Amino acid sequence: MAVILLCNDDGVESPYLLGLASELQKRNHRVLVYAPIKDQSGRSMALTLRQDVETNERSDLFEKMDLNPSNPYPSIHEIDGTPCDCIILAIDGYIEHNGDPKPDLCISGINVGPNMSVDLLHSGTVAAAREASLYGLPSIASSIAKHDPSVDPTTAIRLTSDLAEAVLQYALAGGNEYRRPGRSNSRIEFDGEDSTLARMFGQGDIYLNINIPDGCTGRIQASNVGARWYTGACNINEDGESRTLRVGSLAIEDDDIEGVASDSLSKGYASLTCLASWPQLHPLNVGDIALNQANIPGLDGLPRWINSPN
């Protein structure tokens, strides 16, 4: 049994978040949900500063979940802040305050809508996973690659849960950098070994981003980021002298590049990309050579390091 922290950017009542929490609980994992009260999509790594945020315990949501009464029930808390607020407050004191155990892994999602290419810079879902990684907690961001809140999440929940269990061996083997006691002295020098990439994941220096298409074949394919372009994003509405603007693209185009996330999705595969947690030139940044190797697929499609010997 592992302790898994869940967050998202769609809000604590999202059926996709609660569905994932239910599946992990039924698999006998201890589930902690610390998620925004309301939708925080597109907030990236924004923080709520210079004001208090409300928080509530939400055991009432058990009624909306399919739980195994023989296993510990999830701990569910809503926080009136951004996804990164939720992660920072949870890890840096609120989990402990509530008497919840230290998490082994963070999963952000399951999100409604893809998070690929430049989406990675805007997404609250990806930001929550990255924030947890910055705090030394191994992390996964998970999204359904379709902007449709009625998509059946069954496959996405299963694949996300399977991926979590595939990497928990590295998450549990890490843990020494939770809350980053070693700071920049914890740097792992890349030596070309896949097992070293696993150690990097185990202490949160790299994290995973999975996008699952509607009608997925069930295969997860390691994929690079790719290039996605949004056009017609400025929508102007005029009513007399009143004028309002809305951000929302009229068209989305992906460059035709083999081996990137959009290519994998077009084949019905779930795309899985390993990303660097730290900014370029930060002492803990893993560098391009390590990151490129981290996204080399094995025969099963998963990044090769996931199935490498420890």
Q: pLDDT at position 173, please?
A: 60
Q: Report the interhelical angle of 154-173 vs 15-26 (nearest 10°).
A: 60
Task: List the domains of the chain with CATH numbers.
Answer: 3-226+256-307 (3.40.1210.10)
Helix, strand, coil content of the chain in percent (nearest 5): 30, 25, 45
- pTM across the whole model: 0.96
227-245 tens-digit pLDDT: 999 988 899 999 998 999 9
248-278 tens-digit pLDDT: 877 889 999 999 999 999 999 999 999 999 9
Closest to 85 in 3D by CA, of 16, 35, 133, 120: 35
SS (H, E, C) 33-58: EEEECCCCCCCCCCCCCCCCCCEEEC
Binning pLDDT at 50, 70 and 90, where does residue 149 land?
Answer: confident
Centre a 10 Å sphere on the Cβ of residue 227 and count the other Cβ atoms it contains: 15
Amino acid letter, 31? V
Task: Let me know: does 90 contact 19? Beta carbons within 8 Å.
Answer: no
Backbone angles phi, psi at 131, to 5 degrees: -60, -45
Sequence-distant (≥ 6) Cβ neighbours of residue 57 within 8 angstroms: 76, 77
Could you give the 3-state DSSP secondary structure of residue 207? strand
Residue 213 and residue 232: Cα distance in Å, rounded? 25
Q: Report the interhelical angle of 194-202 vs 154-173 (nearest 10°).
A: 100
DSSP per-residue codes, 285-299:
---HHHHHHHT-B-T
Strands 206-212, 270-276: pairing is antiparallel
DSSP 34: E
Binning pLDDT at 50, 70 and 90, where does residue 171 land?
Answer: confident
